[in-house]
Each structure stands twice: as C-alpha cells, then as structure tokens.
C-alpha cells in the first residue's frame, strides 16, 4: 500500500510551532500565580511537549489512549500527589466519592477537592492538545485554534490588564510559519508527480522561517519604537483589585467580616455578613439539663433583616414572678393540657459585668427572676417582661449598676411529638397578626418551594419537620458568605443562589417558608448550650462562638415550640424540647416518617433540577442526541466504515482486497432494495436487470458494476484516482439506498 503521509521529520517540524503556541497560552498566566514555584506551569509545558511528540507518530488510538492516560496520570501526580503513588491514589478514590456526592447533592463543583479539579484541568488540556494537532496533521486546518489563541490573548489584556504585545507578535509569527508548512502538505497531497522530495521540504522550511523572522522582527521593532515604556505585569492580587469597586458597589459592606457574638446594640444590619469564629468566654451557667440559651424573639422580617414588634411589656421588681399563677408559660390561660413544662433553676455568671441593657438568657420562657447580682447592693433593680415575645430584659443606663449575673426559674417544654401531631384548633388572632408577616416583595418562588416541601404533610408538625429536614439535607453550613446584592431578598438569595450559610440563613429561611404556609413562626436569638465542664457536671461554658439563632413555631395547644434547622446543630434531647429526629418507633408514624423522608429526597432533587434547569435541559438533549447517534451508527455501521475508508484513502491508499471489501455495504444496500441476484447471473447482468427509475442512479450503478469487475478480475493495479472514484461511488450508492 502506498503511503502519502508527510515525512516524520516534517511532522516534527510542524509540531514545534504548536509547542510555541501552547506556551503562549500558559506563560502569560505565570505572573498571576504570585509565587516563585513554577511547578504547575512547568509540568503542563512538559506534558504538552510529550503529547505533541507522541502525536507525530500517528499511532492507532488503541495505543494512543493508554499512552495519554499514563502521561495525564503522571502529570497529575506530579502536581497534586503526596507520598507513595499507590497510597495517595487510594486516598484520592475515597475523596472522589465524596466529591461526586457533593456535586450531585448541591451542584457546586467549585467546592470539590483541588485534586479532582486539577485532574479535570489536565485532562481537558491534553484533549485540546490532541485535537489541535490531529486536526492540523489530518485536515491541514488551524483556523479555529488560531482564532481562539488570538481571542484568548486579547481577553488577557482587556480583562486583566496583562500586556500581550510581545505575545501577540510571537503568536502571529508562529501561525504564519505553521500555516505555510501545512500549505505545503496540502500541495503534496494533491500532487501525483512525486517531485516533493526532501530538498523541497528543506527549501520550503528555510524560506518560511526567514519570512516569518523578517515579519516578526519588523513588527517587534516598530512596536518598541512606538512604545515609550512597557508596563510591568500585574499580580493576581492586582488583577482581583480591579474588581474591588464593582464588589463594593454591588455588595456594600459584604466584604467586611464580623466575629460571632451577641449583638446588644439593637443596631441590626442586613444579614449575610461573613463571620469568623469568636472564642472569648461570654458567661458560665449552671443548669440541671443542657439547654439552648434563649435571649430575644423577633417577629418582623423586611427581606434583609429581623426587627422586633413594639413590646407589650410590664415592669417587675426583683425578686419577682414573671408568670403569674394561673397562666401558662406564654402568659395565656391554658387552652389544653397538651404540653407539660419542666421548671428548672438556672444561674448565669458573666465573664465581664454587663454595663448595657441585655436580655436574660434562659433555657425557656422565664417563670421567675430569683436574683440579679449587681455591683451596687443598695440599688433596687427591675426587669421588663415582654409577654408576647416571652422574653425578659434588664434595662441599664450608663453602665450603672453593673450586673455580674442572675438566677432564674425557666419553663422548659417537654413535648411528645405524637401529641403535637394530633393537635388541632385555630391560632389566636394576635398570633396570626404578628407572626405571619412577610415582605410585600417576597419572590413567588419562595412560596412555591414552601408548597412543594409541605404538600404531603397532614399536620402542622409534619410540615415543620419537612421544612427542617429539607434545609438540613440540601444546604451547606459555612460562615464564608456575603450580604445579598441591594434589592435582593435574603431568603431568596440563600435558597436559590448561594445555597449555603450559617444559623441566620437557615433559621430565617425556615421562618419564612413556614409563614408562607400560614404557620406562625418567630426568629429566636441566643446561644447554643456551650461546653460542659467535665469536672463539674451541670456547669457550662458559653463563648461568643456559641451565639446562635433558631425558630419557635406556634401550636394552638402547646404554645411556642423550638426547632433548629441549621446543619450540625440539634436541640438537646435531655431538655425535653422537640428535635426532628425525636420519633417514636412502630405504628403509623414509622410509615409517615418514611414517606416524609422519601418526599424530602424527591424535593431535593426537584430543587436541584429547578436551580440547574438549563444545564439539565442541555444534558437531556445531549443524551438524546448521543443515543440517536449511537443507534444510527449501529444501523449504518457499514456505511460509516466505508466513509472512514474514503477519508483515510487520502493518506493511505487501500489495496485490492480493501476495495472489494468496501463494496460490500453497497452490494448489501442494492440487494436489500431490489432483491438478491438470480443464480448464474453475472454482476453486469444482475445490475442491468434491475428496475431503476432514477436515470442518474442507474448510470452510477452501471459504472459501479463495471469498476467492480475490473478490480475483481483485472490484472492491472488500480490507480489512485480510479480507486478513490470507486470508493466515492460505493459511498454514494450505499447512502442513497440505505
């Protein structure tokens, strides 16, 4: 068989400009790393060189694929690997599983491990190198790659301010040299005189090189003459700084960071500011059971933050009862004995004396304030009890006196989830008026999501648990957040855009979702239980890092019951408060719980699809097209093989056996359309006996039969032009009759 490929040395010379062009993609980015370690860039350059070197061999894909896998794996390990390769690979496989689950559950590819992102980058880069080189050597085309390279360099200067004049000159010179070399390959392919020997190749390369150097040098010289002072390259920090004003305009104070803690000033800012974990001890507490330390409840949500309602308060002297005899823990006449309250005594001692007004932190609604320890024993202290909010506040003026601690009796609800599920009755008008408030401009999709989450819930308790489970399952906890852009709703931004946050995000989202379903809910600020002193059971240390937020939901027969939707947090079971996982075993509730879990998973998938709707549509369409392509490829596999043979004949001309085998798809199509040949009939007789209405098709089939007989029985070798014409005719007939 006659080969028509370019000489190996010439293919190597063609690949050298490609190496320069790929380097122009990587080298301008080196200053952005801000580091003297060039290991990443060096590895990519070496990988590119090895891939190009292997590509000039024009090896079969069965050999090329494993070689590429080895090269990509070696480059990946050189960049990301640590320790023994096998041990590192095993540990990465475990990490890869977690990354896949993360992407499937949240859709946030940016949060996957650096190893998997590096692997995808290297694999994509290798695929680019292979595709560009293969297209150039087989089709003599570099137009798309040339345009992409020039556009890429322009974007570097336009978006990041990186000077690319020298890079652009070098790129144009390399493209000119490469296009000239590929043009010679095209001329050689269409020539049958055999005059393209090594001397022609050498002369062409030298002439192209001199012309490219002349153009390159002239352009560079003119550039230096016109350029007074070349600007220096910028660092990654400087590039990021170009976006600072845009971030400030769109996000206001979002770039600032705060420390976790309890805000006593009353100057509430828009929620979402990034936080750092505070560690200062805030107070120590003694309690017979671990509890959340409830401080304030807020009822008005304006789309950006929470504020309190105008208090219906009363002043009490200390010591004194907050909840008079005959009233329940919420200050109302008990409507039904659905909930029992455990009254416990708790004592709090502040690390630093309180000098400004503050709420009394307690494990539940305060029944009685037993004592306030102040710096002035002679001063009679009072507290302000807010009956509607169920909170107690100590008013201090100008830091006089200072309060060191206090002792209270608190009512902690001990609620049976099954009893909550069985509750019925209407909410009081005052509760509905105050705790169903929503912003006028709350996006409709928030309400639609609430409908989907609670659609299978038969009771109020089931709806609350469904929302709590949904938030804990499908959203991530982080303190690295930002304030939503001006005009955006905080809950909408959390649920549908960032999909991650801390307690403020989760609690506000739960309150808004439940209010959207007509369930009275309020936002609670306080502290998590803190850390128990191992040497003193019942003593807890609460730091600024324990500052927390949760919600309370109103049940007509039980009052306000706390729930915590933040992942990683759970209301202490010893306190008797309700948790999402407090489920009785057996019976109907087991089936209901399973149904809720199945529904929660279904809703999570639905929310993911809704958030990535166009991605999923694209994936679905791609899958359909791929399935159709596979189906038709299988149906017309003979035709595809024939087309490949026609295409490959430009480089490697087939012999007699291959030409006869190439005619089989055409013969199969003819016999499938017109029937098999009668016994004893020759090829020419069979074709002439066919009833073919199309005059052009009849002529093509006559010529096909004549050429087939000549190839099959002739003694003279078929010329290249005759063989190519026969292959094209086979392809035409097989395609028309398929």
Mean pLDDT for the stretch of residues 485-500? 92
Pick from 42-56, 277-291, 323-337: least confident: 323-337
Mean pLDDT for the stretch of residues 270-292? 89
| First-residue to last-residue Cα distance in the chain | 30
Tokens found for residue 394? 């100590």
Compute the distance between CA of residue 342 and CA of residue 410 in angstroms, rounded to an integer: 8
Give the pLDDT confidence of 701-720 residue by residue, as tens digits.
888 888 888 888 877 777 77
* Residues forming a β-bridge with 385: 314, 392
Tokens found for residue 56? 């000039």
Contact 291, 363 (CB under 8 A): yes
Mean pLDDT for the stretch of residues 227-255? 44
Pick from 368-382, 468-482, 565-579: least confident: 565-579
Burial 279-299 (b: 16+ CB within 10 A, else e): eebbbbbbbebbbbbbbbbbb
Comparing 704 with 114, the larger pLDDT belongs to: 704
Compute the distance between CA of residue 189 and CA of residue 3 in angstroms, rounded to an integer: 11
Tokens found for residue 300? 């008005």
Q: Where in the chain is the domain with CATH 3.10.620.30?
A: 258-611
Q: Is the peptide bond before 319 cis (omega within 30 degrees of 0)?
A: yes
pLDDT at residue 407 in the model: 93
Tokens found for residue 98? 């977690």
Pick from 1-10, 240-249, 371-380, 400-409: least confident: 240-249
Pick from 188-202, 380-394, 514-528: least confident: 188-202
493-499 long-range contacts (CB < 8 A, ≥24 apart) are 493/272, 494/272, 495/446, 495/449, 496/445, 496/611, 499/106, 499/107, 499/108, 499/474, 499/475, 499/611
Pick from 1-10, 141-150, 490-499, 670-679: least confident: 1-10
Residue 348 CB-density burial (10 A; 0-12 exposed, 13-18 middle, 19+ buried): buried
pLDDT at residue 587 in the model: 39
Comparing 267 with 555, the larger pLDDT belongs to: 555
pLDDT level of residue 5 (50, 70, 90 thresholds)? low
Quick one: fold of 258-611? Answer: C8orf32 fold (3.10.620)
Cα 587 to chain centroid, rounded = 40
Q: Residue 591 belongs to what H/E stretch?
A: helix 587-611
Tokens found for residue 564? 């915590």
Which SS3 state, helix, strand or coil, does residue 233 take?
coil
pLDDT level of residue 334 (50, 70, 90 thresholds)? very low
What are the helix and strand counts (H, E) for the chain? 24, 21
Q: Report in angstroms the alpha-carbon separations of 638 from 123, 153, 494, 584, 666.
A: 32, 44, 54, 65, 9
Compute the distance between CA of residue 242 and CA of residue 671 in angstroms, rounded to an integer: 70
Give the pLDDT confidence of 626-651 residue by residue, as tens digits.
676 666 666 555 556 555 655 555 55
């Amino acid at each position: 068989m006659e080969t028509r490929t370019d000489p190996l040395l010439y293919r190597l010379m063609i690949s050298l400009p490609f190496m320069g062009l790929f380097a122009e993609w990587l080298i301008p980015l080196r200053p952005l790393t801000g580091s003297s370690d060039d290991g990443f860039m060096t590895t990519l350059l070496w990988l590119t060189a090895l891939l190009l070197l292997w590509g000039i061999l024009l090896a079969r894909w069965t050999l090329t694929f494993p070689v590429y896998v080895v090269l990509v794996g070696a480059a990946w390990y050189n960049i990301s690997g640590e320790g023994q390769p096998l041990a590192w690979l095993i540990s990465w496989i475990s990490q890869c599983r977690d990354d896949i689950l993360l992407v499937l559950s949240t859709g946030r590819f940016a949060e996957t491990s650096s190893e998997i992102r590096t692997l995808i980058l290297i694999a994509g880069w290798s695929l680019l190198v292979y595709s560009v080189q293969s297209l150039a050597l087989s089709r003599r085309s570099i137009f798309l790659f040339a345009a992409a390279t020039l556009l890429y360099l322009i974007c570097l200067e336009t978006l990041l301010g990186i000077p690319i004049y020298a890079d652009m000159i070098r790129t144009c010179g390399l493209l000119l040299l490469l296009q000239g070399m590929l043009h010679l390959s095209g001329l050689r392919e269409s020539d049958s005189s055999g005059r393209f020997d090594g001397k022609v190749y050498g002369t062409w390369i030298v002439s192209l090189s001199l012309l490219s150097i002349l153009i390159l040098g002239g352009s560079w010289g003119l550039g230096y003459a016109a350029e007074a002072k070349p600007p220096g390259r910028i660092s990654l920090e400087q590039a990021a700084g170009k976006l600072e004003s845009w971030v400030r305009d769109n996000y206001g104070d979002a770039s600032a960071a705060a420390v976790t803690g309890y805000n006593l000033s009353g100057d509430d800012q828009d929620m979402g500011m990034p936080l750092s974990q505070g560690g200062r001890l805030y107070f120590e507490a003694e309690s017979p059971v671990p509890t959340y330390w409830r401080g304030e409840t807020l009822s008005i949500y304006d789309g950006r933050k929470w504020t309190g309602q105008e208090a219906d308060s009363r002043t009490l002297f200390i010591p004194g009862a907050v909840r008079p005899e005959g009233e329940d823990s919420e200050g109302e006449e008990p409507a039904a004995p659905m909930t029992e309250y455990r009254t416990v005594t708790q004592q709090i001692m502040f690390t630093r004396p309180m000098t400004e007004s503050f709420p009394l932190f307690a494990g539940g609604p305060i029944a009685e304030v037993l004592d306030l320890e102040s710096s002035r024993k002679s001063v009679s202290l009072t507290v302000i009890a807010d009956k509607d909010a169920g909170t107690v506040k100590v008013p201090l003026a100008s830091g006089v006196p200072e309060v060191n601690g206090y002792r209270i009796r608190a009512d902690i609800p001990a609620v049976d989830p099954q009893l909550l599920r069985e509750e019925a009755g209407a909410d009081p008008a005052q509760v509905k008026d105050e705790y169903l408030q929503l912003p006028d401009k709350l996006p409709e999709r928030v309400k639609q999501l609430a409908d989907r989450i609670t659609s299978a819930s038969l009771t109020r308790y089931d709806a609350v648990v469904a929302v709590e489970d949904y938030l804990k399952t499908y959203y991530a906890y982080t303190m690295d957040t930002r304030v939503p852009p001006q005009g955006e709703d905080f809950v909408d931004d959390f649920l549908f855009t960032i999909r991650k946050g801390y307690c403020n995000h989760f609690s506000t989202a739960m309150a808004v979702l439940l209010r959207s379903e007509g369930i009275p809910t309020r936002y609670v600020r306080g502290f998590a239980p803190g850390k128990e002193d191992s040497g003193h059971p019942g003593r807890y240390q609460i730091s600024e890092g324990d500052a927390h937020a949760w919600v309370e939901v109103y049940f007509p027969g039980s009052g306000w019951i706390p729930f915590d939707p933040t992942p990683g947090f759970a209301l202490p079971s010893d306190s008797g408060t309700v948790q999402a996982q407090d489920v009785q075993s057996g019976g109907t509730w087991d089936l209901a719980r399973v149904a809720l879990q199945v529904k929660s998973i279904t809703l999570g998938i639905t929310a993911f699809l809704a958030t990535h709707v166009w991605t999923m549509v694209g994936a679905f369409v791609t899958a359909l097209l791929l399935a159709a392509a596979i189906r038709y490829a299988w149906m017309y596999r003979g035709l595809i093989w024939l087309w490949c043979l026609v295409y490959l004949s430009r480089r490697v001309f087939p012999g007699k056996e291959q030409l006869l085998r190439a005619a089989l798809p055409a013969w199969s199509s003819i016999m499938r359309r017109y029937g098999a040949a009668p016994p004893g009939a020759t090829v020419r007789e069979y074709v002439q006996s066919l009833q073919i209405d199309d005059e052009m098709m009849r002529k093509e089939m006559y010529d096909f039969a004549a050429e087939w007989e000549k190839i099959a029985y002739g003694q003279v070798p078929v010329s290249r032009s005759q063989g190519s014409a026969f292959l094209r005719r086979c392809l035409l007939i097989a395609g028309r009759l398929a």
